[in-house]
Structure 1
C-alpha cells in the first residue's frame, strides 16, 4: 500500500494540541489520527462549510450552524473526514450543550480527532498559534532541507559521485539508501552493509537484485510482505529519467520531511549522473575506439596492447572469451509521456558494464552502435557457460522495468590478444546463428554451432528452399501435422544412428510401428537406411528447416 505525501510538511495534530491555546482541550475520539498533518486553521460558522474545507485543516466551531439540528453532526463528521480534515475542535455550552454519541462514534471510526475546546479560549488565539506553529515547522523543514541540499551538493562539487551521495543521504536519514537505474538496477548504495543486504532480500527486489520499479511509484509505501516502510523518489534531469533513489526504514515511519530530503538528494544525484555521463561519454568513446582496433587487429603488437589495456584498467593478459550481445528487434517498454529514457543501446551498455564489474572490474566491456562486447575471464574450473549464464541472467533481470530482450554469442577461449579478432568474429557469428536457430533471447556458443555455422554462410534463401524441397519432398510441408510427425520420426532415427530399438524407446513406439514408419519414409525420401550420402543430405535439410524454415 502506498501513502501519498503532501507537498509542504506541517505540524501534527498531536503537537498542535500541546500549544498553550489548546492545552485544555480534551480528545473525545479519533486518537488514530493524531499524527495527521495540520497545514491551516479555519472556523465553521456557516451551514455550507464543506465547499470551503481543505485537506490538512484544523476546523473550529461552536456548533452554531447546527444548533437546531444536532442530529446532523454524525453526517458532518463523515463528510469532513472525506475532505481530508486534520481535526475538528468544538466549543460547547453556547449553542450546543453536548455532542451526540453517534458523532463521537463516527469520529472514532474514521480516526478523525475530535477535540472538546476549553470555554475560555478564543478561536483567534488558537488560529494564531496553529498558523505560527505551521510556519515555524515549514521554515525548520526548509532550512534543514537547504542545509542537506548544500551538503549533498558539496559532495558532487568536491568530486564525489552517486556512492558518496547515497552515503551522505543515509547518514542524514539514518536509513539504508539505494540509487537505481530507471529499470531498477542498483548503481549505488549507502548505509550499514548488513542492513543493505537484508533489504536486498526483501520482496521489493527480484532474485537478480533489481529493485522492482514497475511496482514502486514515487511516494511512501507500506507492503504487508515487507517490514517497515520505504520511500521512492525519481531521479530526473530535465525530462530524462535517470533512475530512482529509495530509502528503507524498519524502526520508524517515513514522513514528508524524509521525502523532502530524498527529493533534494535526487536533485543532486541527477547532477552526479549527468556529470558522470559526460565523463563516461568521452572515456567510453576512447575505450570503444581502442577496443574496436584490438578486435580488428590494428591496435599494434601484443605487448603494446596489453600495456595500453592496463592503463585503461583492463587485464587482457589471461584466458578470456569474447562475448557479443545484441538487442533483439522488438519494442521495449517506454516511460510515461512526461519522461524520456536514455537511448536504449546506451542503457543496454550500462547494464552490461554494471553487471560485469561485479564479477571482474578488470574485464573490458564496451558498447558499440549495435552491440555490446565483453571480454570475460575463463573461471578457474573452466566453466564459461555458468559465468555467461549468470551475467546474462543479471542483465536480463525478470523482464520488467523497460529492458529489451537480447541475444548473446560466446567465442572459444583465447589466451593471446592477437587472437581476439578471430574470437570476436566467432562471437558475432554465434549471435546471428543462435538467433536463427533458437529465436530471440538465445545464448549461443561458437563451439556448439557445428554445421549450423556452414548453413548460415549460404545467403541465397531460394537455394536453401530448393535444397529442402528436393531432399525432403512431402516432408518439407511445414503446416501439415502428419508430415511434421514424420519429420520428427526421421530426426530421432538420424540422431540415434538408425538404431531402431533405441529410436522406438525414444518415440514411445512399438518396434513394428517404427519399422512401418521407416518403410513409409523410404517411399517418400529414398533408401536413407542404406545410403549414407542421403542420410547426410536429410540431416542438413532438417537443420536448414530448423534454422530458417522455408519463409
Structure 2
C-alpha cells in the first residue's frame, strides 16, 4: 500500500470519519494496516503502518493513551484510528495536544462501519492504483522498447526518454556537468553530496519534499554518468523497471550523444539564449555561459548565422535530425570547416558562430565565404526548405545577443518581402531595417514633396508611371527587362521615364536624384506593408541595390 493519510481520508467509508489532531502529518504514507488491542502490541508495529483500534488496552488511563501515541510515533506508524463509543466517548485533551505536537494523525473512525469495511475500501483503492500503475509501467516499457528499436540518428533521445517516463529527468556527466535537465532545479540542488559513488547502487534521496531516484549509467563496467528522475511521491518497487530500462539505453547512447553535441557548454549556452528570449534570465547569465565555450572565439571577430526551416517543418518531430545533418555538413564543408565554429540549438533553430581566420583581413571577404559555403551546402544536400541568415561582423562577447537579433531581424524582413534566396545577409537589408524606424508621417510628407507634380495628374496615369518606375528599379535600370516585365515596348519605357523626369524635375542618370526616387519608392512600400500587414505578398524585392 502506498496511500498518504490525506488520500485515505477521502476514501469511503473512512471519509465518514474525522481527523481530530495531527494535521501536520497528513503526508505520512500508509504502507499497511493493522488491527490490534493486545497489551504491548506496539512492539509489532512496522514503519508506515496505520493502526485501527477500539482503544481497549488504554481504556483505563489517559496517560496510557498518551504513551501509546508516543510509542506509535517512535515506531514510525502512519496514523491511529480510534472507534469511539465502546471504551472512550471522546479522546482526552492531552492526547489531542500531543498528537498535534508530534504531527501524528489521530482519526475518529465512523462507528457505524466495521473495521473490515474500511480496510477493504483502502485495499480496493490501492488495488485500482496498482493496476493503473502497472498499465503505465507496461506502456512506458513498450514505448522505450519501440524507441530503442528505431534506426537512424536520434539526436533528441534525451527529450524522448523524458517524455516517455512522464517525469522531469536530469542527466549528469561523470565530471558533474549537467548534460540535460527538464526540471526547474538548480545545479547546486541537483548535485548535492557530489561526487556520488560510481557503482550500480540505486539511491533514492529526498530533497525539499520531492524525491530523486538516481541510477548510475554503467556501460562495460564503467560509469559514464547518472540518470536522475524527479518524483513527487516515493517510488513503488514495480515502478522502477522503466527507469532502469531508460538508464540502460542512456548508458549505451551517452557516448554517442557526447560525440553529436559540440560541447556541454554549447548546449547550456543555447538553453540560456532560449531562456533569455523568454525573459527568464539576464544578459549577464547568457554572457557567463558564452564565456564557457572558449576564449578563442571572443578574442577576435566572428559571425552569427541562424539556420531555420519553414513552420510546418520546424514544428515536426524530425527537426533536430535535420538540424544535425546541416551541422554535420558544415563540419565537412571545405570552406566552412576551415575556421573554428560553435553550433547551438535555439528554439528549434541552429545558431552558429564562426571565428574569423587569422589570414582574413577583410570582414567582407569572410562574410562572402560563409554565405557561399552555406548556399553551396544547402544546394548539395538538396535542402530547399532551409533558410540561413547572417549577421554583421561582431567583435566581442557582449555583441553575441545583438548578432542573434540581427539574424532574427533579417528573417523577419525577408519573410515580409518574400525573398527566395536561401542565404540572406543582414547587411543587405540594413537599409530597409533603418528606414522602418522613420515615422510614417515623415515618410508620407517626403513622398508628397517629391511626387507632388506627378500626383496632380490623373490617378490612372500617375499610377502607370509609378509602376514603370518601380519595375525599372527592380530590374536595376535594365530597359529591356523592364519592358518585358510590363509587356510593353522598350521605347514606351523610355518615353515614360522621360515624362517622369520632366514632371519631377529629376535626372535618373544622377546619383542624388536616383537616391531620392529610391527613398520614395521604399517609403511607399513600407507604408503599404504597414497598411496591409506583415502577410501581404509584396512581390518585388525593392531592397535590391542599383548602385
How would you bin the TM-score normalised by the shorter chain?
Answer: 0.3 to 0.5
Report the TM-score when normalising by structure 2.
Answer: 0.43
**Larger RCO, structures 1/2 (Cα 8 Å, 6+ apart):** 1
